[in-house]
């Protein structure tokens, strides 16, 4: 890869980010994450290495992972060139951190965060580099103050890079994390960006780092606030039902999952995003007036959560 692209520095940042997140969540949960390093063979479809960090059956996290990967390949797969068809089949390098935490308590929202960099080297041309990432929240039971806190954290992370980015990336997130076959969003959104290079390499990287660095302050206060709320079989049952939507999105629509599987990635690491217990029901709808119905009515639709306050409810 071209020497002007400092993948060593990006790699060091990403590994440090992974460690900071794992350390913080381990301290909250009390159960150590498994550490599983891996290396791809030099003659394989993909070359490179990674570090999978996973916890299962914890006090806070029922199943969750925070993964780092740094891979190289001889041809970009379709999932990575959807918006750049001219790069299809070009040699590439990709590195990133991706996490999903599925909490045990149904009142603690599931959360996803990802930051990544791609660099393609088309024959006879300069490298083409772009960034992607974001974070989004998927509650089973909605709390306005949690939604507002999460979205304000996203807004504040992007603010140094221009006021236009947050509304743009929020809308992108609402559009991306939408189950078209269900006609409903996966959760309450956050921010999402992909194929991003318009600030130049240094500033686009700085923006991506700002998103990664904002994660813990965006999610941990919510987890701390909700983890001791009492729950029973009803709440766990609804949690399992809503997790089914998470599985559907990740296996049918998610570009990151498809990229990993299409490029010959490490299946166990890719599918760490799936929850441990899931349930489907035929044509089920929540009973009117319940907390479950309120999730659909008040939360599973795009809203300007960063502007919410107890005295100025949103439309």
The catalytic residues are 112
Please give the structure tokens belonging to residue 143: 């709390």
CB count, 10 Å around CB of 185? 22
**HEC assignment per residue over 155-182:** HHHHHHHCCCHHHHHHHHHHHHCEECCC
Q: Among 295, 310, 298, 303, which residue's Cα sits nearest to residue 109? A: 295
DSSP sequence for 258-311: HHHHHTT--HHHHGGGS-S-----TT--PPTTSHHHHIIIIISS---GGG-BTT
- Max Cα distance, the chain (Å): 63
Beta strands in the chain (DSSP E): 34-40, 46-56, 61-73, 92-103, 110-120, 128-138, 178-179, 184-185, 189-196
Please give the structure tokens belonging to residue 123: 């024959």
Query: Which positions ≥6 away from 5 have C-beta within 8 Å?
Result: 119, 127, 129, 201
Beta strands in 142-265 (DSSP E): 178-179, 184-185, 189-196
């Amino acid at each position: 890869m071209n020497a002007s692209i400092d993948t060593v520095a990006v790699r060091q940042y990403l590994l440090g980010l992974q460690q900071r997140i794992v350390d913080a969540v381990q301290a909250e949960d009390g159960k150590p994450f498994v550490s599983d390093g891996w290396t791809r063979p030099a003659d394989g479809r993909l070359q490179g290495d990674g570090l999978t960090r996973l916890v299962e059956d914890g006090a806070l996290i029922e199943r969750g992972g925070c993964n780092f990967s740094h891979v190289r390949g001889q041809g970009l797969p379709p999932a990575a060139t959807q918006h750049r068809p001219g790069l299809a089949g070009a040699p590439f390098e990709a590195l990133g951190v991706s996490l999903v935490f599925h909490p045990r308590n149904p009142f603690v929202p599931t959360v996803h965060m990802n930051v990544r960099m791609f660099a393609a080297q088309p024959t006879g041309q300069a490298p083409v580099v772009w960034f992607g990432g974001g974070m989004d929240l998927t509650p089973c039971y909605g709390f306005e103050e949690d939604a507002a806190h999460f979205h304000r954290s996203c807004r504040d992370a992007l603010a140094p890079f221009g006021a236009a980015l947050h509304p743009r990336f929020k809308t992108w997130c609402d559009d991306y994390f939408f189950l078209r076959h269900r006609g409903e969003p996966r959760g309450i959104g956050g921010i999402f960006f992909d194929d991003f290079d318009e600030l130049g390499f240094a500033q686009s990287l700085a923006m991506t780092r700002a998103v990664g660095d904002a994660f813990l302050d965006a999610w941990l206060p919510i987890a701390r606030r909700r983890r001791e709320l009492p729950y029973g079989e009803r709440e766990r049952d609804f949690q399992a039902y809503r997790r089914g939507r998470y599985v559907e999105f990740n296996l049918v629509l998610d570009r990151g999952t498809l990229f990993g599987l299409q490029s010959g990635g490490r299946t166990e690491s890719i599918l760490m995003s799936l929850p441990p217990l899931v349930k489907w029901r035929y044509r089920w709808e929540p009973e009117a007036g319940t907390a479950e119905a309120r999730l659909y009515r008040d939360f599973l639709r795009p809203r300007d959560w960063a502007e919410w306050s107890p005295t100025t409810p949103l439309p």
